[in-house]
Copies of this chain bind each other. A is one copy, B any other.
Amino acid sequence: MEGKPGKGKAASSDNAVREKLEEFGKSIVNEIYRGENPKFVTSVRSRSNVLYDPKGGYLHLGPAQEERNFINISQSRKFMQTVAIASKCSSFVKENLHTSIRGLFYQLKYSLGEDVDENIFSEQSESNPLIEDLESSLGVRREDLNLSADRKGFLAGNMRIIDKFGGEKLEIDASKQGRSGFPIPSDVDNGIEFVDVKAKYVLVVEKDAVWQRLNEDGFWKKENAILITPKGQASRGTRRMIRKLSDLGLPVYVFNDCDAWGWYIYWTIKTGSMNLAYLGKDMATPEARFLGVTMSDIEHYDFLGKLTMKASEVDIKRAQEMLSYPWINKHKEWVEELKKVLKTKTKLEQDTLQGPKLTFLGDYVREKIRNNEFLP
């Protein structure tokens, strides 16, 4: 079977996924009937095949592909395992039931375990990359195969969520979720819709504590913004959510710490990560801008001088690494920023902005947006 890997284009409906899975199976069966060596094609996902699209502004896989053959001593086990995964996922999609990749692992371990005295999988680390093979080969996302990923992140703002769930059509108003906010689910594409998005922009804040602070201040209400926290590194669901809001034409501003972790979270949202490069633009929001905190904030806001911290070795190493990435060092603003870090060996947390008064966090964001002061 010839897959269409690397496109990162999601199947638009359960039916489309079902067809792709059936096509995958049929193609292998036909090859067997024809006496051919059963095979399928997937993209090479190693670093050497991760490319940056300078026009689109995101990471994706290059043209290198791999063929997986059944009659090949080094591949037949993996081939069998991938087919078993596809078969399980096909059942999940037909039954309309979801599970985690851990749940899938135990289903696989169990199903062959009954008749055969050989474990189809002994460790989950064996099944995980094969799920990626399948995503890449079929041109679908894991979530389309009814495999949930870890969920994380919250949202508040003037928009509604229509969730077809448990035979009901539920409506959740993201402006009425109080202190808690709306928790961003694992899958924000299948059976769920985001409607009446009446906001001017999206503000993503790294830390939940900062999100809670801004939520309490009614920041998103006053500003008419969608306020999101990924709560650290953005989950797949949160990255998709940000992508979808950007697709509606909303500017996306990211407000993180000025340190290794904060930058990493930003660039993962913006260009996608190397690990998920096979999903391409689906997992990237190149339109995102970095609002802060930045090294130049220290010069601008006097009080910050006292509140900086010593950059750790990790921060320094990360800053050096980032300067070597072409998609980062092409921006002179980022080169300047990172060089300041290397020179002063300091870092700065977004929480520091609460130093003078708790509500200064919001004032800071407003000033940045008003002055159009972002890093690219």
**Hey, which bits of chain A sit against chain B, CB under 8 A?**
92, 95, 97-100, 102-103, 106-107, 109-111, 113-114, 119, 148, 150-151, 154, 161, 163, 165-166, 168, 170, 172, 176-187, 192, 208-209, 212-213, 216, 218, 221, 303, 306-307, 349, 351-352, 354-356, 358-359
Q: A107-B354, A216-B97, A358-B97 are in contact. Are A349 and B179 (CB under 8 A)?
A: no
Interface centre among A168, A186, A216, A307 (most CB of B within 10 A): A216
Bound Cα distance from A154 to B168, whole angstroms: 20
Q: A106-B307, A355-B107 are in contact. Are A212 and B98 (CB under 8 A)?
A: yes
A114 cross-chain contacts in B, Cβ below 8 A: 303
A98 cross-chain contacts in B, Cβ below 8 A: 212-213, 216
Cβ 8 A contact of A110, one of B100, B111, B182, B307: B307
A166 cross-chain contacts in B, Cβ below 8 A: 178, 216, 218, 221
Residues A148 and B221 in contact, CB atoms below 8 Å apart: no
Bound Cα distance from A114 to B263, whole angstroms: 30
Cβ 8 A contact of A176, one of B109, B170, B192: B170
Cβ 8 A contact of A179, one of B179, B192, B355: B192
For A216, the closest partner residue in chain B by CB is B98
- Nearest Cβ in chain B — how far from A88, in angstroms? 10
Assuming A99-B354, A100-B213, A107-B358, what are 15 further A-B pairs, CB within 8 angstroms? Answer: A92-B358, A98-B213, A100-B209, A106-B307, A106-B351, A109-B355, A110-B307, A110-B355, A150-B209, A165-B178, A166-B216, A170-B176, A170-B177, A170-B178, A172-B178
A218 cross-chain contacts in B, Cβ below 8 A: 166
Residues B154 and A183 in contact, CB atoms below 8 Å apart: yes
- Nearest Cβ in chain B — how far from A156, in angstroms? 10
Residues A183 and B186 in contact, CB atoms below 8 Å apart: no
For A101, the closest partner residue in chain B by CB is B209
Residues B213 and A351 in contact, CB atoms below 8 Å apart: no
A161 cross-chain contacts in B, Cβ below 8 A: 178
A150 cross-chain contacts in B, Cβ below 8 A: 208-209
Cβ 8 A contact of A352, one of B106, B181, B187: B106
Bound Cα distance from A359 to B97, whole angstroms: 9
- Nearest Cβ in chain B — how far from A169, in angstroms? 10
- Nearest Cβ in chain B — how far from A213, in angstroms? 6
Residues B97 and A148 in contact, CB atoms below 8 Å apart: no
A151 cross-chain contacts in B, Cβ below 8 A: 208, 212
- Nearest Cβ in chain B — how far from A112, in angstroms? 10
- Nearest Cβ in chain B — how far from A306, in angstroms? 4
25 residue pairs A–B, Cβ–Cβ below 8 Å: A97-B359, A100-B213, A102-B209, A102-B349, A102-B351, A103-B213, A106-B352, A106-B355, A109-B307, A109-B355, A110-B303, A111-B355, A148-B212, A151-B208, A151-B212, A154-B183, A163-B179, A163-B180, A165-B216, A170-B177, A172-B177, A172-B180, A178-B192, A179-B187, A183-B183
- Nearest Cβ in chain B — how far from A307, in angstroms? 6
A107 cross-chain contacts in B, Cβ below 8 A: 354-355, 358
